[in-house]
Amino acid sequence: MSVAGLRKAAHETVAGFPREFWWLWTSTLVNRLGAFVATFMALYLTLDRGYSASYAGLVAALHGLGGVVSSLGAGVMTDRLGRRPTMLIAQLSTAVSVAVLGFMVNPVAIAGVAFVVGMASNASRPAVQAMMADIVRPEDRVRAFSLNYWAVNLGFAVSSAGAGFIAEHSYLAGFMGEAALTLLCAVVVFLKVPESRPERTPLAAGVSPPDDVRLSTVLRDGRYMGVVGLSFLVSLVFQQGYVGLPVAMGADGLSASDFGTAIAVNGLLIVVLQIPVSRFIQHRDPRRLLIISSVLAGYGFGLTAFAGSVGVYALTVCVWTLAEIVNAPTQTGLVVQLSPSHGRGRYQGMYTMSWSVAALVAPLMSGFVIDHYGAAWLWGTCAILGTVAAAGYWLLMRNLELPGAMTSSQAAPSAPAAPSAPAAPSAPAAPSAPVVQASTAAPAVTDAHEVAPAGPAVAAGPGGTGPAH
């Protein structure tokens, strides 16, 4: 491809997003650049503090449990308080708790504060995902989630390298660095990211308002909970790259650096391929993408049963990384399509919880299977789980109309719910200070859940892209 072609492709990848999206994207990148605790907590506890590996595992489990607990609560806050307040509360709480954790020496205090850090750091996720759905046009959401996922992995890759250098000199500096960057993230949200929660459409006199979305509403949504369950299965498979794979490679006589080399392929491929792949899948049928990515993930890990060298392990990582690149933004886009606009926080919270629970279950599953049956049975189980997930997606979505199955020219909704005010134009002139909660909104592609426009109309920045970061 020529230089001009590359420039055109890059422009098309980032074009059309409001500037609020780019500030939210920037806050995500800054947040992940400071990811120190999750990466080096075990080393900090065992090498610097001298605690046992069992205690380090307990602290890691409590950190994950905090994320499970906060997922649903943060979802409720996102709908009731708003996206922006929830993010600010979560980020400020994370900054404070991470800083406090760096000074804790008592084992009970360390465990308790780690639980709080897990709660706080996970609480912003439903709000971030709901806000992206609010401010990005339906036909651009998969691309938006792909760019956000790319920022997460880019930030994590950079932070991992930097945190390793910092840890050699001072673990406390790592804690303080994460606290400072998380605080900077909160400042970006406070100054640049306005509230995006959709306002309820005014109803005519005598018309009953739609039922409020509660957690019980989400639990009774059979199709959505089916998707959450399938997300849990797929997450169990992907988590094995970080809990089962190092154990299996160690059993084959390979070192920690060998594992680092193999798993580095995952981050490298995501950084290099996420954006071009997002262009490829943007307007393709999400049902097929989820089915194919689930099978690819399952059998990508299944192939690990035949690996015995670093090179072969790295090749299997390539296979399931491709599945991850396709699955992550497509799955998040599906969650948005199945969520009512006024209940996105609760729906996103339930979805986030599926990954948090999987992060707790995956180490237990891999440890039990490897200890009792061997690593080959673990990889076979992954293949089975991927197949079951693919079949589940096919069964759940056979009769579901999804906008991703249409071409870009058909992305406009064919039968939107009639708003009380006329629809806003798709490309409004960019005001100098855009207001997210506008009184008119372009109706999103909706399903039976939607009772209001899926998101407010947000004016794009100059050139339609907003600031490029």
Cβ–Cβ under 8 Å, residues 24 and 131: yes
Integer-rounded Cα Rg, in Å, for the chain is 22
Structure-token pair, residue 191: 């100054």
Tell me the percentage of the chain whose pLDDT exceeds 70: 79
Instruction: Give the C-alpha separation, 126 to 426, whole Å.
Output: 26
Q: What is the pLDDT of residues 20-51, one digit of tens each?
A: 999 999 988 888 887 777 767 777 888 788 88
Report the sign of the C-alpha dihedral through residues 296, 299, 301, 306, in that order.
Answer: negative
Collapse the DSSP code of 18 into the 3-class scheme (helix H, G, I; strand E, B; otherwise coil) and give the result.
Answer: strand
Mean pLDDT, range 133-140, rounded to an integer: 86
pLDDT at residue 200, as a whole number: 62
Residue 460 — φ and ψ, nearest 5°?
-80, 160
If pLDDT is split at 50, 70 and 90, which confidence band does 182 have? very high
Mean pLDDT, range 43-62, rounded to an integer: 81
**Other Cβ atoms within 10 Å of 90 Cβ, number:** 28
**Other Cβ atoms within 10 Å of 225 Cβ, number:** 15
Structure-token pair, residue 230: 């399938």
Position 168 pLDDT exceeds 50: yes
Which residues on adjacent β-strands are paired with residue 18?
A: 460
Query: What's the whole-number average pLDDT of the chain?
Result: 79
Q: What is the pLDDT of residues 426-454, one digit of tens each?
A: 333 443 333 333 333 333 333 334 333 33
Q: What is the pLDDT of residues 186-203, one digit of tens each?
A: 999 999 989 988 876 555
Q: What is the pLDDT of residues 76-122, one digit of tens each?
A: 899 888 999 999 999 999 999 999 999 999 999 999 999 999 899 88
Cβ–Cβ under 8 Å, residues 228 and 350: yes
If pLDDT is split at 50, 70 and 90, which confidence band does 1 have? low
pLDDT at residue 202, as a whole number: 56
If pLDDT is split at 50, 70 and 90, which confidence band does 250 have? confident
pLDDT at residue 345, as a whole number: 84
Cβ–Cβ under 8 Å, residues 237 and 301: yes
If pLDDT is split at 50, 70 and 90, which confidence band does 414 have? very low
Longest dimension (CA), the chain: 73
**Ramachandran sector of residue 335 (left: φ over 0; alpha: ψ -120 to 50; beta: rest):** alpha
pLDDT at residue 197, as a whole number: 83
Cβ–Cβ under 8 Å, residues 451 and 340: yes
Q: Please tell me the least confidently modeled range out of 39-48, 251-260, 289-298.
A: 39-48
Q: What is the pLDDT of residues 299-314, one digit of tens each?
A: 999 999 999 899 999 9
If pLDDT is split at 50, 70 and 90, which confidence band does 5 have? low
CA angle 265, 270, 271 (to 5 degrees): 100
Query: What is this structure's pTM?
Result: 0.70
pLDDT at residue 62, as a whole number: 87
pLDDT at residue 89, as a whole number: 95
According to the 3-state scheme, what is the secondary structure of 183-199?
Answer: HHHHHHHHHHCCCCCCC
Which residues on adjacent β-strands are paired with residue 284?
A: none
Structure-token pair, residue 281: 């899948």
> Using the 8-state DSSP alphabet, how is residue 46 labeled?
I
pLDDT at residue 435, as a whole number: 37
Higher pLDDT, residue 54 or 387: 387
Of 153-162, 192-201, 412-421, 424-433, the range with the highest mean pLDDT is 192-201
Higher pLDDT, residue 402 or 185: 185
Of 211-225, 347-361, 380-394, the range with the highest mean pLDDT is 380-394
